[in-house]
Amino acid sequence: VDSFYEYLLKAHILFGREELWDMFLSAYVAAQ
């Protein structure tokens, strides 16, 4: 699961796609 978050975050940084950031935040908050 950890690598999934890392993948979303890195993909957002590389590609600047806002939906990837939204997915990361949703998954991160759900895991809290």
Question: What would the pLDDT profile of 4-31 be if each residue is shown by its tens digit?
Answer: 888 888 888 888 888 888 888 898 889 8
Q: How many whole angstroms separate alpha carbon 8 and alpha carbon 13?
A: 9
- The pLDDT of residue 5 is 81
Q: Residue 1 pLDDT more than 70? A: no
Q: Indicate the pTM of the whole model.
A: 0.57
- The pLDDT of residue 9 is 84
Q: How many whole angstroms separate alpha carbon 5 and alpha carbon 8?
A: 5
Q: Which of 31, 10, 30 is nearest to 21 (CA)?
A: 10
- The pLDDT of residue 24 is 83
Instruction: Say which amino acid occupies 24.
Output: F
Q: Residue 2 pLDDT more than 80? A: no
